[in-house]
């Protein structure tokens, strides 16, 4: 389970002064559910997810993952999380197998368990054809599968996806979305950020709309449809975000 409590992140910028990238964000993600964080570019999605993955430290507030506080026990949090984004690249000079094994070892797996897990994941994701190929020789689809294998190698109960389909072709994006669904079906807690409405409609159990670092609204898709009297998620999103977007532009 993920619980974010008044999560905030401020940055100092020489020209613009203090920037509130994430401002007092609270939400809960349940096991076996997918939480979709929907927002435009620069809304604060990546910063929020990076704080949950303990890559960044919150300025204020905190979050717990599987009961571990992101500030007090960052290493335990990371051991319970699989983090995937288009920014999490592969080590080009390692083979797909070496890459996955490296992260398995960093997650504390012993060699016997690691071998079993790697074989099982490579069979499941149909990766045996390229397991000994160096990552810089892989196609985009193979790279994505290798990244997925990396997030799964330690079988984490929580999965964090930061715009995982950004810039990918349809076939590779479908591999990712079906993997996200599979995670939910396996009882994992999933949080997923995107600005693609169709993905949210297809995948998410709960939707949170974020703009200017603030979580403006959250609920299931039917709840949001009722609240804003709109059927299309895109229309709901525009209704929610526009006043904040205009205010931000004026500032």
Partner 1 sequence: MSLRNIGIVYRKELTEAIRDRRTVISTILVPLLLFPVLSVGFGSLAVMLVGKAKEETPKVMLRGGEDSPEVVAGLKKLDKIEIVPETPNWKDQIINKEVRAAVEIPSGFQTDVAQQKSDTVNIYNYEGELKSEFATDKVEKYLKDYSDTLVKDRLAAKNLPVAVLKPFELKRENVAPPEKVSGAAFGGIIGYMVILLCMTGAMYPAMDLTAGEKERGTMETILSSPISRTHLVLGKFFLILTAALGTAALSVLSMGVSFSVLSHYTGQTADGRAAAAGFILHLGPKTVISVFLMALPIAVLFSAVLMTIALFAKTYKEAQSYLTPMTFIVIVPAIASMLPGVELTSKLSLIPILSTSLLCKELVAGTYHWNLIAIIFSSTCVYAAAALFIAIKMFQREAVLFRS
Contacts to partner 1 by CB under 8 A: 53, 55-57, 75-76, 78-79, 81, 83, 85, 87-94, 98, 102-103, 105-108, 134, 150
Pick 55 or 215: Cβ nearer partner 1: 55
Helices (H), 23-169: 45-52, 74-79, 96-106, 111-124, 140-152
- Residue 92 or 116: the one with the smaller Cβ distance to partner 1 is 92
Give the nearest distance from C-beta 120 to partner 1 in angstroms: 20
| Both tokens assigned to 94 | 């390692």
Using alpha carbons, select from 136, 36, 153, 40 the residue that is nearest to residue 89.
Answer: 136
What are the distances in angstroms from CA 55 to CA 51, 75, 88, 91?
6, 10, 12, 18
Q: What are the backbone dihedrals phi and psi of residue 232, each rounded to the nearest 5 degrees, phi first? A: -75, 135
User: Measured from the CB of residue 193, what is the shortest distance to partner 1 in angstroms?
Assistant: 14
C-beta of 136 vs 234, nearer to partner 1: 136
Report the residue number, 87 or 198, with the smaller CB distance to partner 1: 87
Minimum distance from residue 79 beta carbon to partner 1 (Å): 4
Residue 69 CB, nearest approach to partner 1 (Å): 15
Sign of CA dihedral 63, 69, 70, 75: negative
134: left (phi over 0), alpha (psi -120 to 50) or beta: beta
Q: How far is the CB of 83 from partner 1 (least distance, A)?
A: 4
Q: Report the nearest approach of partner 1 to the CB of residue 230 (Å).
A: 36
Contact 70, 62 (CB under 8 A): yes
CB of 90 to partner 1, least distance (A): 7
Helix/strand/coil for 103: helix
Nearer to partner 1, 108 or 187 (CB): 108
Identity of the residue, 151 or 206, whose beta carbon is nearer to partner 1 in the bound complex: 151
Distance, CA of 192 to CA of 159 (rounded, Å): 8
Six-digit token pair at 82?
């699989």
| Residues in CB range of 176: below 8 A, 6 or more apart | 144, 148, 161, 164, 165, 168
* C-beta of 151 vs 177, nearer to partner 1: 151
């Amino acid at each position: 389970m993920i619980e974010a409590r008044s999560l905030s992140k401020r940055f100092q910028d020489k020209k613009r002064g203090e920037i509130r990238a994430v401002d007092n964000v609270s939400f809960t993600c349940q096991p076996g559910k997918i939480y979709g964080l929907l927002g435009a570019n620069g809304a604060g999605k990546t910063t929020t997810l990076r704080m949950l993955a303990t890559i960044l430290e919150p300025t204020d507030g905190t979050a717990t993952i599987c009961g571990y506080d992101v500030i007090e026990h960052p290493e335990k949090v990371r051991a319970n999380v699989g983090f995937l984004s288009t920014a999490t690249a592969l080590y080009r000079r390692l083979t797909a197998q070496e890459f996955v094994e490296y992260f398995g070892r960093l997650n504390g797996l012993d060699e016997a368990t690691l071998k079993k897990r790697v074989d099982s994941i490579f069979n499941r994701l149909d990766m045996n054809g390229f397991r000994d190929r160096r990552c810089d020789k892989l196609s985009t689809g193979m790279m994505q599968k290798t990244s997925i294998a990396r997030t799964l190698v330690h079988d984490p109960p929580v999965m964090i996806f930061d715009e995982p389909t950004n810039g990918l072709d349809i076939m590779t994006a479908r591999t990712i979305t079906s993997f996200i669904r599979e995670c939910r079906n396996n009882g994992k807690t999933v949080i997923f950020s995107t600005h693609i409405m169709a993905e949210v409609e297809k995948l998410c159990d709960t939707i949170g709309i974020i703009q200017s670092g603030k979580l403006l609204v959250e609920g299931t898709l039917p709840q949001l449809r009722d609240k804003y009297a709109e059927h299309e998620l895109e229309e709901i999103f525009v209704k929610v975000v526009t006043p904040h977007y205009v205010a931000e532009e004026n500032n």
